[in-house]
Structure 1
Amino acid sequence: MKFLRFSFELYDLFVLCSALLVAGIINYYYKYYTRKNPFPAPFPLPFVGHILDQFIAGKNFYEQCYITHSKYGPIFEQWNGTKRIIFTAKPEYLDRLLSSSTKSKYLARVIEPEGLKDLGMYGTGLLFNHDLANWRINRQFFIQAIQTIDFLREAVDCTQAAFNEMNEYRESTLGNDAIIDFSKLSRTITTDVIFQIITGKKVWATASHFSTISSRSKSIKLQELNEENIKKTLKISRAFETFLGGVIFFAVFPKWIRKYFPNLRATQNNILQARDDLFKDLKDIIQERRKEIENTPKDEKLKYN
């Protein structure tokens, strides 16, 4: 009985890898061309889709989406690896998707993404919660909390105070040829208002933002705090902003891309660290608030938060 001798040389390995690569590319573009309801978009590269576009153009995710929107209209798609994401900027579509009605067809607004699980956001709260029973309980509690008179009054006061503070900083930059990024400014104002309303703590996100633009802005409000409080509050605000941006990052980029691309892996680690720091700080605030409630006399009215 004779046995055939099988030799696997380097050339054979090259041929095998090439065949697998070609098969993968064919499968990728087969799914691309046979997808349902195609929308306009740049032609994707195999395996990575449009992920490299923003790195080649030197843009961040938001800037790249704006460029694509300007070129392809209010509805377009983007391929991140093998994942297809549809973007829409039409108000009539957004009204349907974001409807607060419990009879809406779009209660499940996102599919079950592994990225949100890795971030610890999936299955909790309101936005990414697919457990309908748990979602209804959270929604009822949330609505009852934000519909109180004290909460609404405080929300209006905090918002007005935040804009007045922002205007002070803006006036302090006049004549300095300072460039104000209103997208970043809106996020810092939102951070200040949300934390002030929910926790009663001010995190000085707007003050921190303007202090990077003008040294005169830094002395307006931050001088009211000692150095330790400044570091603590700014740490919370930056962690909050990083975490919010990280939700989109984890939802968009597949796990293998976040893991094996060095720059994206570093971004992922920064977001996870910001999440851990933020949750720890929020836990400390909650414990501090519980002690205040325990020490509050029974005949004294509690704060809304």
Structure 2
Amino acid sequence: METANFLQEIPKILLVALIVYISYYYYKYFTRENPLPGPFPLPLIGNIHQVLKNGSFDMSKFQAKYGDLCEFYAGSQHFILLSNDDLIQKIMKPTVNSSFHNRVNDDNEGLEEIGLLNTGLAFNNNYDNWRFHCKFYTKVMMSPSLIEQSVIVVQNSFLEMEKYWNDLGEDTIFEFNHWMKQYFFDTIFIISTSNSAYALANYY
């Protein structure tokens, strides 16, 4: 009898939990710091139904409707979209006196899994470590010829990795973090020495 009563109460409990979640979701939304233009999110899914249409993200439509700086939600995860080159350069500019040091959350599991969190410049929230890399990058890595070579190497290495993925087939289970380590090693080695380490080829 008690079990039957409990089962009857489950829909009520779920309804109360859903109302609490929706209330908290919109409380966080309406009290967020520095609100930006963007579509109104729905609980649980955010703006996924608006961001992804036909499996692709059309940035031009967002830019035309909400401007160069706007925001959207994927579930409860908040994203800021920059569509202006000047804004991106201002934020990503590798200067020690920049106001934009912390660029990612410390609990970003994706970046941590592939070994990019708190390393280098782009995703490094450790200020002292970031400052050291920033000085090195500014003095050594900013020559136009090296930048041009780096862009070519990054593209060629990714095309090589993509070719290996295609050869392995769709049924293969990829250990993405291992592939990315080989990719970064190959890329950095070629940029540094102008010779290939064949890390991707050996891992393939």
Match of 1:21 among 10, 18, 21: 18
Aligned residue type for 1:77 = E
How far does the alpha carbon of each residue in 1:259-299 deviate from its partner, in whole angstroms, 9 at most, with x for none? xxxxxxx9xx75xx34412423655785xx99x9xxxxxxx
Alpha-carbon distance in 2 for matches of 1:73, 1:154: 34
How far does the alpha carbon of each residue in 1:216-257 deviate from its partner, in whole angstroms, 9 at most, with x for none? xxxxxxxxxxxxxxxxxx236777xxxxxxxxxxxxxxxxxx
Q: Is the 1:77–1:86 Cα contact (8 Å) retained in structure 2?
A: yes
Pair 1:53–1:99, CA change in 2 (3 A) = same
Q: Aligned pair 1:60/2:56, yes or no? A: yes
- How many aligned positions are there? 183
TM-score by length of 2: 0.70
Residue aligning to 2:76? 82
Pair 1:77–1:131, CA change in 2 (3 A) = same
Pair 1:102–1:238, CA change in 2 (3 A) = farther
Aligned pairs for 1:172-251 within 5 A: 190=151, 193-195=152-154, 203=157, 205=159, 234-235=160-161
Aligned pairs for 1:68-217 within 5 A: 68-112=62-106, 113-146=108-141, 152-153=144-145, 190=151, 193-195=152-154, 203=157, 205=159
Match of 1:49 among 46, 61, 71: 46
Pair 1:26–1:284, CA change in 2 (3 A) = closer
Q: CA deviation at 1:105?
A: 1.4
Q: Is the 1:109–1:128 Cα contact (8 Å) retained in structure 2?
A: yes
Q: Is the 1:78–1:85 Cα contact (8 Å) retained in structure 2?
A: yes
* Runs (5+) with no aligned partner, structure 2: 196-204
Alpha-carbon distance in 1 for matches of 2:184, 2:30: 47
Secondary structure of 1:39's partner?
Answer: coil
Alpha-carbon distance in 2 for matches of 1:204, 1:49: 32
Alpha-carbon distance in 1 for matches of 2:136, 2:76: 38
119-128 or 90-99, which deviates more: 90-99
Q: CA deviation at 1:121?
A: 1.1
CA RMSD across the alignment:
3.5
**Higher relative contact order, structure no. (Cα contacts within 8 Å, ≥ 6 residues apart):** 1
Percent identity between the aligned chains? Answer: 25
Q: CA deviation at 1:46?
A: 0.4
Secondary structure of 2:78's partner?
Answer: strand
TM-score by length of 1: 0.49
Q: CA deviation at 1:77?
A: 0.8
Q: CA deviation at 1:127?
A: 0.9
Higher helix share: 1
Q: Which has the larger radius of gyration?
A: 1
Q: Is the 1:129–1:135 Cα contact (8 Å) retained in structure 2?
A: yes
Secondary structure of 2:136's partner?
Answer: helix
Q: Is the 1:125–1:138 Cα contact (8 Å) retained in structure 2?
A: yes
Q: CA deviation at 1:154?
A: 6.2
Alpha-carbon distance in 1 for matches of 2:26, 2:184: 46
Aligned residue type for 2:122 = L
Pair 1:12–1:282, CA change in 2 (3 A) = closer
Alpha-carbon distance in 1 for matches of 2:37, 2:60: 14
Residue aligning to 1:280? 182
Alpha-carbon distance in 1 for matches of 2:183, 2:77: 34
How far does the alpha carbon of each residue in 1:5-46 deviate from its partner, in whole angstroms, 9 at most, with x for none? 845342211111111111111111122122233222222110
Alpha-carbon distance in 1 for matches of 2:131, 2:145: 26
* Runs (5+) with no aligned partner, structure 1: 160-189, 197-201, 206-233, 240-265, 293-305
